[in-house]
Amino acid sequence: MRRSWVEQVMGMPISVLARGPSAGSFGADAAVQELYAALREVDRVFSLYRSDSEVSRLSRGDVGWDAVSVEVKDVAERCVAARELTGGLFSAELPDGGWDPSGLVKGWAVERAAAALRSVDGVDWCVNAGGDVLISCPSAEDFTIGIQDPRDPGRIVASLARHSGAVATSGTAARGAHLYDPRTGRAVESRWLSMSVSGPSLEYADILATAAFVAGDEWPAVLPPGYEGLGVLADGNLQATDGWGLA
């Protein structure tokens, strides 16, 4: 049995696909509603588009670091660790002196909220958060994940089969040239249109996809053991690491 849900949360469509004998159960639906509630709470705290969020209030100076929640402090520490992991290719510190943790928050939030799904026996799960995917399949049966063509949203350039872990994509297709190099403070100009990273953690796959895009031609060196990548060039050609499994 299969069942799906979708809601607009954190400014993006977040869909959940359940597969298995318990997919239609009350427990499965309750777990999905718990996931969405957790993500709405993250949006309330971290959204840069809500004037009353903790991050917005912090940015305006209405509150100091001593007054923010444990979750905000945790994310701040994770952002520092991500900058160290990527050699400065990822950073929540903006060129204008502001702080924007959104490049980490989505993966962190989805991974944390998905704990509710894993509590339901007999169900495989696939969560798609604006193109970033988290999978957990106790059955060990794969889901097939398509990688969108950054030049044509209706086309898939590659696919990969996974029964656990995550896939995240970063690039300029959806939001234009919004990424910058933290080392220089300048916008990234690249012959690459997108970078996708697969691995065990959505939080880290998302971080690494951003870092890989910023790195440009040197992107394969950004990925630590356990993570694989696929880059799409402006001319449509693809480059993948050996473990990606590009056909």
Residue with token string 């977040």 = 14
- Share the mean pLDDT of the chain: 94
Longest dimension (CA), the chain: 53
Report percent pLDDT > 90 for the chain. Answer: 87
Q: Is the pLDDT of residue 173 over 70?
A: no
What confidence category does residue 172 fall into, taking pLDDT thresholds of 50, 70 and 90?
confident
CB 233 within 8 Å of CB 239? yes
pLDDT, tens only, 115-134: 999 999 999 999 999 999 99
| DSSP 8-state class, residue 20 | S
| DSSP 8-state class, residue 188 | P
What confidence category does residue 95 fall into, taking pLDDT thresholds of 50, 70 and 90?
confident
Q: Is the pLDDT of residue 41 over 90?
A: yes
Map out the domains of the chain with their CATH numbers.
2-244 (3.10.520.10)
What confidence category does residue 98 fall into, taking pLDDT thresholds of 50, 70 and 90?
confident
pTM for this entry = 0.94
Q: 165 forms bridges with which residues in the sheet? A: 135
Average pLDDT over residues 46-52: 94
